[in-house]
Amino acid sequence: MRASSANLRLAPAEIAETDLIIDGVSKRFNTREGTVTAVDGMSFSIERGEFVSIIGPSGCGKSTIFSILGGLVRSFDGRVTVNGEEISGPHPAIGMVFQEESTFPWRTVIDNVAFPLEVQGVAKAQRYEIARRFIDMVGLAGFEQRYPSELSGGMRQRVAIARTLVFEPKILLMDEPFAALDEQTRLLLGDKVLKIQQDLRQTTLLITHNITEAVQLSDRVIIMTFRPGRVKRIVDIRLPRPRHGDVVSSEAFGRYVAEIWSDLREEASRGMAETEAGARQSKA
Amino acid sequence: MRYLTLLPLFFGLASVAIFLGCVELLLTFGLLNQFVIPFPSAVLGSFGRLFAEEQLFHRLVLTGTEALAASVLVSLFGISIGVLLHRCRVLQLATEPWIAAITAAPIVLAYPLFLVMFGRSAVTIVAMGFFAGLAPVILKTLEGLNGVRKSFINVGHSYKLTPAQLFWKIELPAAVPTIFVGVRLGLVFALINLIGVEFLINFGGLGQLVNDLAERYDLPGVFATIVFVILVSVVIFSALERMERWFRPADRS
Ligand SMILES: Nc1ncnc2c1ncn2[C@@H]1O[C@H](COP(=O)(O)OP(=O)(O)OP(=O)(O)O)[C@@H](O)[C@H]1O
Ligand SMILES: [Mg+2]
């Protein structure tokens, strides 16, 4: 079905399995100015072990679709199927990394990361041991006893990533997890997330507005339109795996980036113009 | 560093000493009426007498016990009612304006009612302190719980927390700093009213002593007791502030 799947380190039987099906999903918000259609009839599916990115201009409905897939939105149109079951709330196989600040300020780094295990009733010694492994992995060894307020924004985001990875979810949803990081950290952390994803064969959906990041990590990139949020185009990224941070300097990489950018530019400029017009209108 | 913390303290104490010195001088030269304002030296000197003859320490323990009882009740009921109102939105909408209005009301004026109900006893005093301190704790508990960041709640939902887990592991700890502000306010209100009622019904600890001494026209004694009450309050509330910082590890940096 997809040429890129040849590059995945998956058994053939697994390739055919589809983990996540989004079928005609729409979401409308009622606001003071009227009804806003954030997402309009989006359909796509993600196969087991696949890494897919959604890219689109600010305000195009990325976080909305993220919340819907995470089961946090109750009223929407269409169907979301996880592992063959239609969801009606958060699915236990799904782990989420949120766009907004979500580390708990009243817990230390290690207690933040161990949180999902604590909730599941894992004994303290054991959950700390597991948590340490993931803290190491996101490069925060030595910061276990710090509180989030004592860390930088990027470090806090890494805590949030470790907290989600710690219970090894089958399906990983991430909403702009690297947005607060500098380019170098972003590449390195992207590398690590990619390695874990490949090791655990996690099905991953990454939401981003960074084209480089999307191309570096993904098997497919879904480009969204601005208002209403729809699937504009899906680009297969046929770069060999395993990929490292240095893939970004290859010629093929550059071509993908340019291709996606030309699609995205239309949407982004339309988005800017509409948002400005809207602001002027509500002022008048 | 140490120098920087000591310097303001030194200036604070020095300015108080200079002020008292000036008052002493003005009284000595008859520029201030010594039948209205006692000599600061006499006020200082009367502390020994207060401890020895007026059982100042015993009274402190008495008022302290009443205050403690009122604080425990205020925290227990205030936080519970706050949580209840947060759970039940209709109830919250119905009662919140009333509770806010009560915060501003001079509850101490209702003391005759309590006197009739509980007699001239410690119960009346504690009850007055309790009712005076309750409203801010309820309001701040509500504010804290309503203000929990949506993303924290979403994290909780994404891990499929039960409602009880969500409350104990996310909502309550997230609200604790705000709740503690309410508790501190509640205790201030309770303490003010406690001592006020002691004074009014001439019963109990420190408040009664002020009343007593005033009736005997022992001006230095009255001033000394008031200074003592102020000092005790300062100590209690700086201790509470310490505790508050302890409850707020987020700001420890
Ligand atoms: N709770 C809400 N009520 C009303 N409108 C909303 C709500 N949430 C989102 N919207 C609207 O839906 C649209 C999509 O929002 P969303 O948060 O999904 O955008 P996004 O693509 O994640 O943007 P960004 O990249 O800036 O995070 C926006 O126009 C926003 O105004
Ligand atoms: Mg978003």
**String of DSSP letters for B76-110:** HHHHHHHHHHHH-HHHHHHHHHHHHHHHHS-GGGG
Is the residue at B12 inside a domain? no
Chain A CB contacts of B160 under 8 Å are: 89-90, 92
- The answer on A238 and A174 residing in a single domain is yes
Structural domain harbouring B152: 54-252
Inter-chain residue contact B160 with A67, CB threshold 8 Å: no
The vertex-B96 CA angle with B125 and B172, nearest 5°, equals 85
pLDDT at residue A7 is higher than 60: no
User: Does A92 contact B165 at a Cβ distance shorter than 8 Å?
Assistant: no
Same domain, A65 and A120: no
Quick check: A63 contacting B, CB < 8 Å?
A: no
Share of chain B above pLDDT 90, in %: 32
Q: Domain for residue A253, yes or no? A: no
Contact residues for B152 (Cβ-Cβ < 8 A; gap 6+)? A102, A104, B170, B174
A154 and A175 belong to one structural domain: no
Distance from CA of A87 to the nearest CA of B (A): 13
Nearest-Cα residue of chain A relative to residue B249:
A106
Q: Whose CA is closest to atom 5 on ligand 1?
A: A29
Asked whether the beta carbons of residue B157 and residue A150 sit closer than 8 angstroms, the reply is: no
Domain count, chain A: 2
Q: Please report the pLDDT score of residue B1 as a whole number.
A: 55
Domain boundary among A145, A167, A189: A167
CA-CA distance, A105 to A98, in Å (whole number)? 15
Residue A6 reports pLDDT greater than 70: no
What mean pLDDT is predicted for residues A235-242?
81
Record the tokens describing residue B51, joined without a space. 């401890």
**Residue B150 within any structural domain of the chain:** yes
Asked if A121 and A8 sit in the same domain, the reply is no
Give the side-chain half-sphere CA count within 13 A for A194. Answer: 24
pLDDT at B242: 85
Let me know if residue B26 belongs to a domain.
Answer: no
* CB-CB under 8 Å, A119 with B158: no
Q: Tell me the one-letter amino acid at B179.
A: I
Q: Is the same domain home to A199 and A148? A: no
- The answer to whether A100 touches A66, Cβ cutoff 8 Å, is no
Q: Do A102 and B252 touch (CB under 8 A)?
A: no
In which domain, by residue range, is A129 found? 103-167
A-B Cβ pairs (cutoff 8 Å, strict): 69
- Any CB–CB contact under 8 A between A174 and chain B? no
What is the Å distance from ligand 2's center to A209 Cα? 9
Kindly state whether residues A137 and A179 are assigned to the same domain: no
Q: Which atom of ligand 1 is nearest to the CA of A27?
A: 12
Confidence (pLDDT) at B237: 84
Q: Are strands A203-208 and A171-175 parallel, antiparallel or unpaired?
A: parallel
Whether residue A98 is contained in a domain is answered as no
Pocket of ligand 1 (CB under 6 A): A 29, 31, 36, 38, 56, 58-64, 99, 209
Q: Is residue B111 part of a domain?
A: yes
Residues forming beta bridges with residue A79, ordered by sequence position: A23
Has residue A38 been placed in a domain? Answer: no
Whether the CB of A66 is below 8 Å from some CB of chain B: the reply is no
Write out residues in chain B with pLDDT < 50, as ranges: 252-253
pLDDT at A253: 82
Q: Best interface-test mutation with B: which of A106, A117, A174, A175 has the largest number of B CBs within 10 A?
A: A106
Alpha-carbon distance values, A110 to A128, A156, B165, B186 (Å): 7, 12, 19, 35
Q: Do B158 and A115 touch (CB under 8 A)?
A: no
Give first-to-last CA distance, chain A, whole Å. 52
CATH value at residue A189: 3.40.50.300
Q: What is the pLDDT of residue B126?
A: 92
Looking at the fold, whether A215 and A200 belong to one and the same domain comes out as yes
Using alpha carbons, select from A71, A280, A148 the residue that is nearest to residue B159. Answer: A71
CATH number at residue B116: 1.10.3720.10
Residue A105, pLDDT > 80, answer yes
Nearest CA in chain B to A111: B169
> Is the Cβ pair B160, A92 closer than 8 Å?
yes
> Of all atoms in ligand 1, which is nearest to the CA of residue A65?
18
Domain assignment of residue B123, yes or no: yes
A157 lies in some domain: yes
The identity of residue B12, as a single letter, is G
Testing ligand 1's pocket by substitution, the residue of A26, A27, A29 carrying the most ligand atoms inside 8 A of its CB is A29
Are residues A180 and A221 part of one domain? yes
Q: What mean pLDDT is predicted for residues A232-258?
A: 81
* Neighboring chain B residues of A70 at a CB cutoff of 8 Å: 154, 158
Same domain, yes or no, for A175 and A244? Answer: yes
Q: What is the chain A residue with the closest CA to B248?
A: A106
How many whole angstroms separate alpha carbon B33 and alpha carbon B16? 20
Q: What share of chain A in percent tops pLDDT 90?
A: 25
Q: What is the 3-state secondary structure (H, E, C) of A50-114?
A: CEEEEECCCCCCHHHHHHHHCCCCCCCEEEEEECCEECCCCCCCEEEECCCCCCCCCCCHHHHHC
Distance in Å, alpha carbon of B246 to nearest chain A alpha carbon: 11
Q: Which residue puts its alpha carbon closest to atom 30 of ligand 1?
A: A59
Residue A28 counted as domain residue? no
Among A167, A188, A221, identify where a domain stops.
A167
- pLDDT digits over A191-227, tens only? 888 888 888 888 999 999 888 888 888 899 999 888 7
What number is the average pLDDT over the span A166-191? 84
pLDDT band at A60; cut points 50, 70, 90? confident
Residue A39 lies in a domain: no
Task: Please check whether residue B43 lies inside any domain of the structure.
Answer: no
Sign of CA dihedral A164, A165, A169, A171: positive
A86 or A277, higher pLDDT: A86
| Contacting residues of A for B161, CB less than 8 Å apart | 119
| Confidence at residue B219, expressed as pLDDT on a 0 to 100 scale | 86
How many residues are present in chain B? 253
Residue B37 included in any domain? no
Nearest ligand to the C-alpha atom of residue A229: 1
Under an 8 A CB cutoff, do B160 and A90 touch? yes
Measured CA angle at A175 (ends A170, A181), to 5 deg:
115
Cα-to-centroid distance, A64 and ligand 2 (Å): 7
Asked, for residue A209, whether it belongs to a domain, the answer is: yes
Is A54:A174 a contact under the CB 8 Å cutoff? Answer: no
Q: What ipTM describes this predicted complex?
A: 0.82
* Percent of all residues in chain A with a pLDDT value above 70, rounded to a whole number: 91
Å between B158 CA and nearest CA of chain A:
6
To which H or E segment does residue A22 belong? strand A18-31
Same domain as A131, residue A233:
no
Same domain, A58 and A183: yes
User: Given this model, what pLDDT does residue A85 score?
Assistant: 84
Ion ligand 2 residues within 5 Å by Cβ: A 62-63, 99
**How remote is the CA of residue B203 from the centroid of ligand 1, in Å?**
62
Pocket test for ligand 1, best of A26, A27, A63, A210 (most atoms within 8 A of CB): A63
Residue B46: inside a domain = no
Average pLDDT over residues A250-278: 80
* A67–B154 C-beta distance less than 8 A: yes
What total number of domains does chain B contain?
Answer: 1
Name which of A236, A233, A215, A225 is nearest A274 in CA terms.
A225
Which residues are CB-neighbours of A266 under 8 A, at least 6 positions away? none
